[in-house]
Structure 1
Amino acid sequence: MRLFAAIHPPPAAVTDLTARVAELRIAASVDARLADPAHLHLTLAFLGDVSDERLVDVESALGLAAQSFRHGRVSSPRLRLGGGGTFGAGRSTVLWVDARGATDALDMLSRLVRLALHRAELPYDDKPFRPHLTVARPGDRVHRADVRADREALHGYAGPEWPADELVLNRSHLGRAPRYTRLAAWSLHPAAGC
């Protein structure tokens, strides 16, 4: 099964972003492949394919990472979605929105998650962590000028602030309309105990 660890923005942040994305040029394109608002997330670590037998090890590693993160924190990190950019080129072009606010805390959480996975000898993608949320995969199906205009339009976007209060383990189901299943979650609130 394909797994990843993530932070999910709350419904108010998703609703605000969805309204902003609806105003973009790509929203009018049937070929843009907009991200499903129900699945928006900030990936902390992508594990890729993990055997069913190792699921307990993954859950244990993420639980330890969440516990380490909570230790010594006064509150959950406060974030907001804002700004934007693109990754890739041609068929691989992705339009994304930045995470802003306490991103240093997100960096720390990502490092703790990856360290726990490493110690448990579990796979993960070791690309540098860049907190972002994918909003569309226009690829080369949408004119580059429209993608550039939307990227520029997102520069002025600033969504509502929200606490990153939960680390979530998700299973990814591939296909034309990818979907994600929530498998487990751990509180990031310091009051949840260590």
Structure 2
Amino acid sequence: MAAGRPSELKTQRLQRRQQRLRSGGQPPTDRLFWAILPPPEVAERIADLAGRLRAGHGLTGRPLETAHFHVTLSHMGDGVGLPEAGVIEAMTARAAGVAMPPFRVAFDRALSFRNGAFVLGGDDSVIGLEILQQRLTDALDGRPLPARRFTPHLTLLRDNQIVPEHPVEPIEWTVRELVLVHSLLGRTRHRSLARLPLASSRI
């Protein structure tokens, strides 16, 4: 088998979450993460809700761009530029092994996190995201791991004011794919590097 194929790359190269991808000591300019993206029509509803909640609570933080709303499942790391193509191919190959059928998700609560993020969340209505995140984590690490703390959420904006949790009109959609997102830090740009349809089994 030729060198550089995903199956020959060391597992630790895929375990760099929360680490720099390639920095050389420079401030990071790029971020990679696996995420769930709402369909465009749902993203428009989220933007409308974000605007109404912002006004209702007197928040001053700027909402995310409509096309940037997402639910992060796995942060792969920050760095200067992207990692080698083989590393991205390996990330994608491992994530492609996740077996899970499409499922419904509903965010029906709004609240502030301590870090200033004002988010949408949920309880039983987001359990599918918890299951998907665990399966993705296991696939990326190449082995089953103990469940880690994960709170599914969708960030609307950031603000210094803390808003207590409260119900909101549900934002619902059917999750059908995993997306590997490349974020250009400070430039408000997102690029989709890979899209993997969900399926109940993998051949």
TM class by shorter chain equals 0.7 to 0.9
- 1:25-40 aligned at under 5 Å gives the runs 25-26=54-55, 31-40=60-69
Tell me, in whole angstroms, the C-alpha distance in 1 between the residues paired with 2:118 and 2:59.
15
- The 3 A distance-change label for structure 1 pair 86 and 127 is farther
Tell me, in whole angstroms, the C-alpha distance in 1 between the residues paired with 2:125 and 2:91.
23
Tell me, in whole angstroms, the C-alpha distance in 2 between the residues paired with 1:115 and 1:34.
33
Higher helix content, 1 or 2 = 1
Tell me, in whole angstroms, the C-alpha distance in 2 between the residues paired with 1:102 and 1:63.
29
- 1:33-48 aligned at under 5 Å gives the runs 33-48=62-77
Corresponding letter in the other structure for 2:32: L
Corresponding letter in the other structure for 1:136: L
1:123 aligned residue = none
1:172 aligned residue = 183
Matched, 1:23 2:52: yes
Tell me, in whole angstroms, the C-alpha distance in 2 between the residues paired with 1:18 and 1:44.
21
1:114 aligned residue = 137
2:6 aligned residue = none
Matched, 1:156 2:185: no
- The 3 A distance-change label for structure 1 pair 76 and 87 is same
- 1:77-156 aligned at under 5 Å gives the runs 77-88=103-114, 92-99=115-122, 103-119=126-142, 128-139=149-160, 144=161, 147-148=162-163, 151-152=164-165, 155-156=167-168
In 1, are the aligned partners of 2:106 and 2:126 still within 8 Å (CA)?
A: no
Corresponding letter in the other structure for 1:158: P
In 2, are the aligned partners of 1:173 and 1:180 still within 8 Å (CA)?
A: yes
1:56 aligned residue = 86
In 2, are the aligned partners of 1:95 and 1:136 still within 8 Å (CA)?
A: yes
- The 3 A distance-change label for structure 1 pair 64 and 25 is closer
Which blocks of at least 5 consecutive residues in structure 1 are unaligned? 121-125
Give, in angstroms, the shift of residue 58 of structure 1: 3.6
1:68 aligned residue = 98
Give, in angstroms, the shift of residue 105 of structure 1: 2.9
Residue by residue over 1:3-28, the C-alpha shift from the partner in whole angstroms, topping out at 9 and shown as x without a partner, is 00000011222122222222124589
Tell me, in whole angstroms, the C-alpha distance in 2 between the residues paired with 1:58 and 1:16.
32
Tell me, in whole angstroms, the C-alpha distance in 2 between the residues paired with 1:83 and 1:10.
19
Tell me, in whole angstroms, the C-alpha distance in 2 between the residues paired with 1:56 and 1:103.
33
Which blocks of at least 5 consecutive residues in structure 2 are unaligned? 1-29
- The 3 A distance-change label for structure 1 pair 30 and 99 is closer
Tell me, in whole angstroms, the C-alpha distance in 1 between the residues paired with 2:122 and 2:93.
23
Q: Which of 175, 193, 203 is matched with 1:183 structurally?
A: 193
RMSD of Structure 2 on Structure 1 (CA): 3.0
